[in-house]
């Protein structure tokens, strides 16, 4: 579901020729234009037919801006883009946060601070290998992986759960648990990957055990072990 305010009432009033809504434009109008442009492009029309409307074409007043859907980045996305110097983060006092300050802020705000470094190591691992990594919370996983092109071109191929290397064989990793998770993945046409992250020792990276440390861990010290889990179907030839 969209996180922006619903527009169905305004679109209905416009369709009923309500004078108060005549000429008003909505986000759905942009979507319809883009789909039409894509169809025209597929049918061989000139590239200039792909000219798409932008948010400025909606003539939205500044008072309506808070109701629009903003771009939302996960903590892992923000850290990754900040590492590449593609994202500048400012605090409430408009101070530009360094990478170490951003790490400290996000790790401290995490509900599972001790797992934050492990999941970011897994996120970094997949992003640097060309995958588009998104949250997998809808499928009971930590991440889902899209191939080249991202969510706009295809569905995710893999669901990923991240675990510490020293938790292999614990209750959470029982076959009953894994079978249930694998069943969910198969229903949504995704393969399940269990990503075990071997954390470095405390003397190498103290910030992992104390998330309030100002220094982000060295990701080259982490080791990743992946296991692809497939559900066995005896009726399948």
Instruction: For 158-193, write each residue's pLDDT tens digit.
Output: 999 999 887 655 545 677 778 888 888 888 989 999
Mean pLDDT, residues 40-68 taken together: 53
Please, which residues bridge with residue 134 across strands? 144
Q: What percent of the chain has pLDDT over 90?
A: 24
What integer pLDDT is reported at residue 125 of this predicted model?
Answer: 95
Which residue out of 120, 123, 125, 146 is catalytically annotated? 146
pLDDT per position as a tens digit, 99-131? 889 998 888 887 776 788 899 999 999 999 999
Q: Is 190 one of the catalytic residues? A: yes
Question: Which residues make Cβ contacts (< 8 Å) with residue 37, sequence separation at least 6?
Answer: 49, 50, 51, 52
**pLDDT of amino acid 157:** 93
- To the nearest whole number, what is the mean pLDDT of the chain? 77
Look at the pTM and tell me if it is higher than 0.85. no
**What's the confidence (pLDDT) of residue 9?**
84
Sign of the dihedral defined by the CA atoms of residues 31, 33, 36, 42, in that order: negative
Among 193, 72, 77, CA closest to 127: 77
Instruction: Say how many C-beta atoms besides its own lie within 10 A of residue 106's C-beta.
Output: 22
Alpha helices by DSSP H, the chain: 8-15, 27-42, 75-83, 99-109, 113-127, 175-187
Of 95, 138, 155, 209, which one is the catalytic site residue? 155
Alpha helices in 43-98 (DSSP H): 75-83
- pLDDT tens digit string along 5-21? 678 888 888 888 888 88
- The confidence score (pLDDT) of residue 212 equals 43
- What are the backbone angles phi and psi of residue 198, rounded to the nearest 5°? -90, 110
Active site residue 95: no
For residue range 132-164, what is the model confidence (pLDDT) as tens digits?
A: 999 999 998 999 999 877 887 788 999 999 998
Q: Is 155 a catalytic residue?
A: yes
Q: Of these residues, 126, 190, 196, 211, which one is catalytic?
A: 190
List Cβ neighbours of 29 (8 Å cut-off, separation of 6 or more).
53, 58
Does residue 52 surpass a pLDDT of 90? no
Give the pLDDT score at 135. Answer: 92
The confidence score (pLDDT) of residue 5 equals 66
């Amino acid at each position: 579901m969209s996180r922006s305010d619903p527009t169905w009432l305004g679109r209905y009033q416009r369709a009923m020729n309500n004078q108060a809504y005549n000429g008003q434009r909505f986000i759905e109008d942009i979507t319809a234009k883009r789909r039409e442009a894509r169809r025209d492009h597929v049918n061989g029309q000139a590239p200039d037919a792909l000219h798409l409307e932008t948010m400025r074409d909606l003539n939205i007043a500044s008072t309506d801006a808070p109701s629009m859907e903003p771009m939302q980045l996960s903590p892992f996305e923000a850290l990754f883009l900040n590492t590449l110097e593609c994202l500048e983060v400012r605090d409430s006092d408009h101070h530009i946060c360094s990478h170490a300050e951003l790490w400290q802020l996000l790790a401290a705000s995490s509900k599972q601070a001790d797992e934050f470094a492990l999941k970011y190591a897994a996120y970094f691992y997949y992003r640097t290998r060309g995958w588009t990594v998104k949250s997998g919370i809808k499928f009971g996983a930590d991440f889902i992986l899209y191939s080249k092109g991202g969510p706009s071109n295809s569905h995710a191929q893999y669901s990923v759960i991240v675990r510490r290397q020293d938790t292999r064989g614990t209750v959470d990793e029982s076959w009953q648990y894994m079978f249930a998770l694998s069943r969910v993945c198969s229903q949504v046409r995704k393969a399940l990957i269990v990503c075990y992250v071997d954390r470095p020792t405390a003397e190498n990276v103290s910030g992992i055990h104390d998330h309030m440390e100002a220094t982000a861990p060295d990701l080259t010290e982490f080791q990743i072990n992946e296991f692809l889990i497939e559900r066995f179907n005896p009726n399948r030839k």
